[in-house]
A and B are shown apart, each in its own frame.
Chain A
Amino acid sequence: MADPKLVQDIVEALDIPGGSTQRRPVHTVGIGVTGHFVPSPIAPEYCVAEHFQPPAKPEGVPVDVRFSNGIGLVKEHDGWSDVRGMAVRFHLKDGKSTDLIAMTLSVFFAPTETTFLKFARHARPQPCKRETPWQKIKHYLKLELPLPDPYPGQTERPNEAAIAFANEHAWAQPAVVEASAIGAPVSYVRADYHAVHTFVVTGRDGQERRVRFTWAPVAGVLNTNPEETPKDKYLQKDLRDRLAGKQTERFTLMMQIGEIGDDFDDSSRQWPPHRKRVMMGTLTLEHVPDDQQAHSEKLSFNPWHLVEGIKPSGDPVLRIRKDVYEYSSNRRGGIPCPFSNVKG
């Protein structure tokens, strides 16, 4: 188990004004969806985990999915540029389950648990104001882009502090640059989601491979127009509308296979995009349950919640997320996550 003080410090560093300790510290606003996952015909060759085996029923294994906005505010700001989350729980036989947690950012902010704490403390939202016309002209004359004007009603944001931190720490730059331009999706099902960390999967022949997973939307990726005034609430209604009646939405699960020389244990470093990719299956979203407390808010996902056939890599950030998620779940009174010592 990780240092409990470090775990607590990380969770508390993520708490921001406008958030709540009764809710998740990040990815606070979300919506739960149910559906099913069907592995591709080739998936069993690459991973012996149960959800990648030929399914007993044609519809595959049932899943719970939670989509979320990354920012730790209780109030919805769907239209703000922000990282989005997609947490998937695969329900397996005999009451077992496994999770895959992903986000629209393709790379993490820090290589280790201690550097992440440092980043989280420095990149906290700070009061923001519009740059003056002269400041903007100075940026243009330096061939730089001015910071975007704050959104209507936005008084704090992490942009300035995160950029200042990244200017001193090159390892934070890939994530900070990507996050600063990430935008807002027109729908939760029009974004791709990256599990970021490396996992070790065991194939049918016993071969172990270092891999990274990405959910690719069948509907394609599309963001809102950043020139237009953002709407605060549209993503949850969009999902309900899309899944009304018998309508469905789908994602494919792509698995990128790492090679010797890639950063297996550092999720702040991307792998080249031309690594081999394998299509591992299709997720079909079917229904937005009425009981969002049970199917979204009380659920406790955990990236360490794995089954035989998938192991965590040595990524220290993945390691500490196990305890950080557990601590956060206990604090907000979530349904105990698989590692929790608290009785539900």
Chain B
Amino acid sequence: MSDDGGWLNTYVNSLPERRWFQFLSKYVVVPFWVWRDGKPKLPGGPRPSPQPSDSTQRMMNLLMPLKDPSPIGRAKAVMALAQNVDEVFAGLDNVGTVHSARFLLIEDHICMISVYDGDFSNYIRDFISTIGSVFDALMLVVEGGDKLRPCEKNVEAFIDWVRDHDLFQAPDFPVELFALQDAQIGKKPNDPPHAVESLPRSLILQLHANRNISLGGGYRGYPGYSAAQIRNKLGVGW
């Protein structure tokens, strides 16, 4: 909304939508700020917390780059999963801490999106022990996957790889980004406080470092309950 500030004001207000200004921002302004005040990549996955509801329904957004993103390479990724569906179901049933998991092919990535309870490392360990063969099949079609096979023999390396490919989860409250960025470079958070006007720049620079992110920690219809509690309440036998 604008008051009557004349044509120049109206034009300047529209700059962010103008192609030439977007071009300038993309190729000059943002690179300048990346050089001047670039942010390190922030780690993926939910952040550690001792509080009970923070340990339930945690989100994993795993982006695995395909070795061959051509239709044939993508078909191989589809087959790798399709031939292991029984293993996935058996694994989900036996791990017991998973609310949901699904695989997606998006552009040049195969993605595993899942909701689980408890500690991240234990979740991956459980998966390796129950559906390691699925990940072995997937690692055949994923860039950098060869050195992780068989997953059962490379557990720690596989956990590190998954952590590195799990998306950074942007904070649920915007200004918390400042504290995360401070902590990542070893600074005491918000000491001194950041200027709130710089929040858009901090976000843009973080999106330069973390190209793909999860927008917040996810929205839950029944927050705070584990898969085990829900199954128990529903009386489904395990």
Contact = CB atoms under 8 A, between A and B. Distances in A.
Interface of A: 130, 133, 136-137, 139-145, 148-152, 154, 163, 166-170, 173-174, 176-177, 180, 226-230, 257, 259-262, 270, 272-277
B173 interface: yes
A149 B5 contact: yes
Given A174-B173, A177-B174, A151 B3 contact: yes
Contacts of B217: 272-274
Nearest to A261: B51
Contact of B53 (A152, A177, A228, A276): A276
Contacts of A149: 1-3, 5, 9, 13
Contacts of A174: 173, 175
Given A130-B9, A276-B53, 10 more contacts: A140-B25, A142-B198, A149-B13, A154-B3, A163-B196, A170-B175, A272-B217, A273-B223, A274-B53, A276-B224
A140 B16 contact: yes
Given A133-B9, A262-B51, A274 B197 contact: no
B26 to A, nearest CB: 12
Contacts of B114: none
Contact of B172 (A139, A142, A154, A273): A273
A144 B51 contact: no
B161 interface: no
A166 B196 contact: yes
B29 interface: yes
A144 B201 contact: yes
Interface size range on B against A: 35 or more
B219 interface: yes
B25 A173 contact: no
A290 B216 CA distance: 45
Interface string B1-14: 11111001101110
B139 to A, nearest CB: 32
B195 interface: yes
Contact of B1 (A137, A151, A169): A151
Given A276-B224, A276-B225, A169 B16 contact: no
A257 B53 CA distance: 10
B1 A148 contact: yes
A270 B173 contact: yes
Contacts of B224: 257, 274-277
Interface in B1-54: 1-5, 8-9, 11-13, 15-16, 21, 25, 29-30, 33, 50-54
6 contacts: A133-B9, A149-B9, A230-B1, A274-B220, A275-B223, A276-B225
A150 B223 contact: no
Given A228-B1, A273-B219, A145 B197 contact: yes
A122 B225 CA distance: 43
Contact of B193 (A141, A170, A277): A170
B199 interface: yes
A143 B30 contact: yes
Given A140-B16, A260-B51, A176 B1 contact: no
A194 to B, nearest CB: 13
Contacts of A169: 193
A167 B196 contact: yes
Contact of A144 (B8, B197, B225): B197
Nearest to A136: B12
Contact of A137 (B12, B175, B219): B12
Interface in B189-238: 190, 193-201, 204-205, 216-220, 223-225
A51 B56 CA distance: 32
Contact of B33 (A137, A143, A229): A143
A213 B18 CA distance: 43
A163 B52 CA distance: 35
Nearest to B59: A274
